Structure 1
Amino acid sequence: MFEPGGSRQQPEIKVEEIINKIGAGIGRVAQRFGGGGMKIIGLGAILLLTLLWLGTGVYTVGPRERAALQLFGAFQTIQGPGLHWYFPGPIGKKTIVDVMNTRSMELGFFTTATGTVTDQSEEALMITGDLNIVNVQMVVQYKIGDLEKYLFRVDDPGETLRDVQPGLPDGRTLKDATEASLRQVVGQRSIDDILVTRREEVESDTSIKLQEILDEYEAGLQILNVALQTVRPPDEVRAAFDDVVNARVDKESRINEANAYEQDRLPKAQGEARVIIQGAEAFKAEKVAIATGEADRFDSVLEEYNKSKEVTRQRLYLEAMEEILPGVRKFVLTEDANGNLLQFLPLTDDADVKVVEP
């Protein structure tokens, strides 16, 4: 609900009434002392009256307040907290306002003093960027940012519904600027952005636009916060929109479930992949080592073969026969035996190697 007020003016002294009372008193005294005493009493009365009048210029400004000073109706300066003196009325005028007070204004609805909420459809119904109609209710929180501009730059007609008196920008100026800002932001976005996905962006953009308009008007108001309240489609199509919202919620739920499944399965799959990769690398290293060893062995055999071809050929032949005929007792006959089988060379492990001479 809008919170009007927040300013107070120092009471003005009714000089004419005081003069009349003092004049009556002087008349009664003059009847006693005659004409000479009349002059002295008159001067004393004038001096006393002047001191009393000057004394009414003393005023105090609280820690949260500021005082706007006027001289013959023209604005002079802003006075901060403390005890001060300024020309009393009707020469000077002091308007003391609580500039730290956070005020609020409701758009699209109105809360009465008893707490009853009344919708204001003419303020709340707006057209979105995708040509849908949406009911938007919002609360604006603000405070006085520039007291001079707040008091003297805007002549507001006031607003009867929210009990705002004419003269200050808290009335129609603020309400119309807020409504214009919100309609512009809503008209640039889809209904989904306003209902669900980008409410914070709508609030931020509305606050920025509203502050720009108020600064252009020199209203002296500082926007503190813009908060969307109830945002809904019109009652005629609310059921259809509720179905869309429910479907969107289901979609988000399925997406979250899929993401959770992914987070569960992906590490396991990555671990299994690493195991397979490590096994393949080990197999590769083993095969490369074997192939390298066989190649080195071949090179060494080739080197020996080049040195003594017959001996190497005979050794390779014997090694091949031993590999081809495992577990068979084998005898090697030399050429010197001349066909005599009694001279032989046993090659098995279970017999001593002997060369039999004929």
Structure 2
Amino acid sequence: MRKQDNLKPGTGKHDMAWNEPGGNGGDKDPWGTNRGKRGNQGPPDLDEVFKDLQKKFGGLFGGKGGGRSGSGSASSGGGLGIGLVIAVLLLFWIATGFYKIEEAERGVVFRFGEHVSTTQKGLHWHLPIPIERVEKVDVTKVYTIPLNSTMLTQDENIVDIHGTVQYQIDDAEKYLFNVRHPEISLAQVTESALRQSIGRSKMDYVITEGRGEIAIQVKGIIQEIVNNYQTGLNIFKV
């Protein structure tokens, strides 16, 4: 005899113990799971998981990882550029401290207005401004001051004096420190010395053989006065 299968009419399914009719439309397996629901879930998408993690950690640090990296690179590049500019400016500032003194010159170095040294011929370096500055003084040049005045002799005659005073800078330090207006001061001293000498002489002596002697006397008087005031000047000729 043919064994009759227990089939549900119109389904083609075997009527197993776990396939109970009225099971809310879902077939149950021996493991107690619902096959319909399992088929709809599937494994989680790894890309979505990583994206979620990235969003969470990005929120903690104030932005996305990529944005922070780009900002850091730009900031680093900007700092390097500023540092390079500062270095170039510093080198240029240091280079401005080099100076050259010629053979006829003296270099008087001041630091914040106070004299610190005097340099001779050659290439030198000083702390750049505003810390130090250098005044170059020519100690071989002959300077000339014109003198025109009217004076009274011992015998009360009036003579017109037309001449010049020539001088050199003998001490650059004293000249810069102690002489404010050398031409004006020296002209006044010369005129005073001339009045003193001519006032003791008669007119005939002044306009004849006394001219040379008076010039020597005046030169000596002027030199004594400028030495007393430590002007650093040397009277060359009157």
TM over 0.5: yes
1:180 aligns with 2:211: no
| Cα shift at 1:56 | 0.8
Q: Among 145, 157, 166, which residue is 1:105 paired with? A: 145
SS at match of 1:199: helix
Counterpart position of 2:157: 132
**Percentage of pairs with the same residue:** 35
Alignment partner of 1:196 out of 190, 208, 216: 208
Bigger helix share: 1
Q: Which amino acid aligns with 1:190?
A: K
Runs of 4+ in structure 1 off by over 6 angstroms are: none
Q: Which residue is 1:53 aligned to?
A: 93
Partner of 1:82: 122
| CA positional deviation for 1:107 | 0.4
> 1:220 corresponds to which residue?
232
Letter in 2 for 1:63: E
Matched with 1:155 is 180
Deviation at 1:212, TM superposition (A): 1.2
The AA in structure 2 aligned to 1:103 is Y
Q: Distance in 1 between matches of 2:73 and 2:138?
A: 52
From 141, 154, 175, the equivalent of 2:166 is 141
- Other structure's SS at 1:140 match: strand
Displacement of 1:148 after TM fit?
Answer: 1.4
Post-superposition CA distance 1:95-147 (Å, at most 9, x none): 11222111111101xxxxxxxxxxxxxxx211112222211212111111111
Q: Hey, what's the Cα distance between the residues in 1 that align with 2:192 and 2:225?
A: 9
Query: 1:83 & 1:32 partners in 2: Cα distance?
Result: 47
* 3-state SS of paired residue (1:136): strand
Partner of 2:78: 38
State the alpha-carbon separation in 1 of the partners of residues 118 and 218 from structure 2: 31
1:36 counterpart SS class: helix
Separation (CA, whole Å) in 2 of partners of 1:186 and 1:145: 28
| Cα distance per residue 1:303-342 (max 9 Å; x no partner) | xxxxxxxxxxxxxxxxxxxxxxxxxxxxxxxxxxxxxxxx
Aligned-residue Cα RMSD (Å) equals: 1.9
Cα offset for 1:211? Answer: 0.9
TM-score of the superposed pair, with normalisation by structure 2: 0.66
Secondary structure in 2 matching 1:97: strand
List per-residue Cα deviations over 1:27-55 (Å, max 9, x = no partner): xxxx9951123333333332322221111
Counterpart of 2:10 in structure 1 is: none
- The separation in 1 between residues aligned to 2:155 and 2:209, in whole angstroms, is 15
> Do the aligned partners of residues 192 and 84 (structure 1) sit closer, same or farther apart at CA in structure 2, a change above 3 Å counting?
same
Provide the TM-score with structure 1 as the length reference: 0.44
**Aligned residue pair count:** 168
Give 5+ residue unaligned stretches, structure 1. 1-30, 109-123, 157-168, 227-358
Query: Structure 1 residues 41, 65: CA separation in 2 closer, same or farther (over 3 Å shift)?
Result: same
- CA distance in 2: counterparts of 1:97 and 1:66, whole angstroms: 5
